[in-house]
Amino acid sequence: MNQFKDKQFLSSFIMFSIPFALVFDSVIFGILFGYVFAQAFYSSGKDK
């Protein structure tokens, strides 16, 4: 869970979760999808 200390991960997590929360009209879905996308985005960015 130490990726939450990473500012880059947090900003991408917020960036992804807000649109999903608006689209699905559900905060839980927004957080869930936001986390999954931010995790994939974060791990792909770390490899390069």
pLDDT value of position 47 = 59
More confident residue, 47 or 32: 32
Query: H-helix or E-strand containing 35?
Result: helix 27-47
Burial (CB count within 10 angstroms: exposed 0-12, middle 13-18, buried 19+), residue 5: exposed
pLDDT value of position 42 = 79
pLDDT value of position 1 = 56
- Report the C-alpha gap between 19 and 3 in whole angstroms: 21
| Type of residue at 34 | G
pLDDT value of position 45 = 72
pLDDT tens, residue by residue, 3-32 = 667 888 888 888 888 888 888 888 898 888
- Report the C-alpha gap between 1 and 40 in whole angstroms: 14
The pTM of the full predicted model, rounded to 2 decimals, is: 0.61
